Amino acid sequence: MPLRTLETWPHGAIMLDAEHTRFALWAPDAFYVSVELEDGQSLPLLPQADGWFVINTRCPAGTRYRYNIDGELEVPDPASRAQAGDIDRHSVVVDPLAYQWQHSAWLGRPWNEAVIYELHVGALGGFSEVEQHLGRLVELGISSIELMPLAQFPGDRNWGYDGVLPYAPQASYGTPEQLKHLIDTAHGHGLAVILDVVYNHFGPDGNYLHRYAKAFFREDKHTPWGAAIDFRRREVRDFFIDNALMWLLEYRFDGLRLDAVHAIEDPDFLQELAQKVRQQTDPARHVWLTVENEHNQASLLEEGFDAQWNDDGHNALHVLLTGETDAYYADYARNPTEQLARCLSQGFVFQGHVTRHGTTRGEPSGHLPPSAFVLFLQNHDQIGNRALGERLHQLANPNALKAATALLLLSPMIPLMFMGDEFAAKQPFLFFTSHHGELAELVREGRRNEFAAFSAFADPHKLGQIPDPNARQTFEASRPELTSSRQSAMHDLYRQLLQIRHQQIIPRLPGAQALGAEVLAAGAVTARWRLGDGSQLRIDLNLSDTPVVHTPQADASLLFEYPPQSASLLDQGTLAPYCALISLTAAAPLLPPDGERP
């Protein structure tokens, strides 16, 4: 398997052999840079062309160090491979070959087999503690886990999207070797492991690049997080592309989910990243690249990326299940059933359609396979961006939710669930951080101001009850109980549906294409797909409390029905309330050529 080389990995502390390390920092605004070792040595880096400072020196793995800029400011290595604690502590030289892999022959799993379980490592207790859940996830029918961002952030509690050292796994979760052991153990269970990476911004605390590398950013473009990262610069592109390759090659992650790529201004950075990943990973490996992208760029899914998180599908389903139409759900308030049908038949809902802001969004996506879209009923955002972090089972009719769960797990789109979904966990997933001082106050007030315009929080007393993101109890309340309800009805439903998916859907997914979807009534749709073996999958869904006139399908095998006996009711021409029927029609036999009929 390829390993990092000086040509591939220019940023940071790179071990040259067991006793020597090269330190390299891109600091075009600095006059002088030294590396300060914890033992008291101060080693001046030699200035090179294009703003680089470099030194090769005797320095073994485990050495702790910081950079000194112009004799005025000590900073962590922006490409630190590990921190000896928080962001204000020393960076650590890491030997990438120290971990002895037990499942080095693992090549991953084909994308059509993906059943994704998103989790927060900190909420489960750290890298070693996550390992304790792997066996039960396999038993449930999960084929891949997706870890929310791990890049070192300030403090010990955070969703992960405030990371400032993208190469360093969060120290409060464990060591690089413990992360590798988690991935290795997951591979031993047959689980692929995806990492959520954030390349569109740095967090608000602990990023010193503005001090010595202003060219990392562009002041003419701004994002919700400040000045945009300048992906036009080669050094900046390499910083992030090399990071992606580190996770895939050194840590052997099976895939990456790129956060909010709509906030990445450069039009071809993503294509280059995908190209480099495909070129430098073993072609025998199954490496998955997915994106979150408000722009709904279908073209990106034809340029090296496997799939996009389908927020459109979630939003339409959420409106149908809860009736909520605040904020971005307003775009799905008028015709959610029609939009769900468009999602099932064409992927995106917004394909150049006009939003509530009067702008167009999206590109045509009907030509893409259903596996180009990751569907979910919940994820970290859709729960945690709520003021009180409620889960969907606390907002929706339980029977409608079970019907929607059948759609999620048996449609040809790739299903994703969030930790706790399988148990209908009662614990919320709240927005939490561990900032201090003025920043903590700004985050606290910003969180409350975010919901001030919502009718539910018009009362100042209720607004004040929104949990403080920086309080430890907010984090502790977000830690789900995942072992005490193994025999819950929801858990049994997930396991039953995933058994059907593995047996009947996944083997037929390659080559699948949508045949169309039809609105039957408010809240009710029927959708069909031709699967790779020529069979036809049909899903009849009614999320409303009203029975709907519908036509049964002849010669179809019933894969699943909810509620019981709803298939018999459809035989009489009625689709029951809160109902999901999934059926499969075998491929028509091929006719022999003319002249060969018996």
What stretch(es) of the chain map to CATH 3.20.20.80?
A: 112-430+488-499
Which two structure tokens, joined as six digits, stand for 360?
A: 């167009």
The domain made up of 511-585 has a fold known as: Immunoglobulin-like (2.60.40)
Record the pTM. 0.95
- The pLDDT value recorded for residue 557 is 96
**Residue 418 near residue 380, CB atoms below 8 Å:** yes
With a cut of 50, list the residues of the chain below it in pLDDT: 1-9, 595, 597-598
The domain made up of 12-93 has a fold known as: Immunoglobulin-like (2.60.40)
Q: How far apart are CA 120 and CA 297, in angstroms?
A: 27
What stretch(es) of the chain map to CATH 2.60.40.10?
A: 12-93
Beta strands in 413-554 (DSSP E): 414-418, 513-521, 524-530, 536-542, 548-549
- The pLDDT value recorded for residue 2 is 35
Residues 6+ apart with CB under 8 A from 465: none
Q: How far apart are CA 370 and CA 51, in angstroms?
A: 46
Domain 112-430+488-499: CATH architecture, name and number where available: Alpha-Beta Barrel (3.20)
Catalytic residues: 259, 292
Give the 3-state secondary structure of residue 240: helix
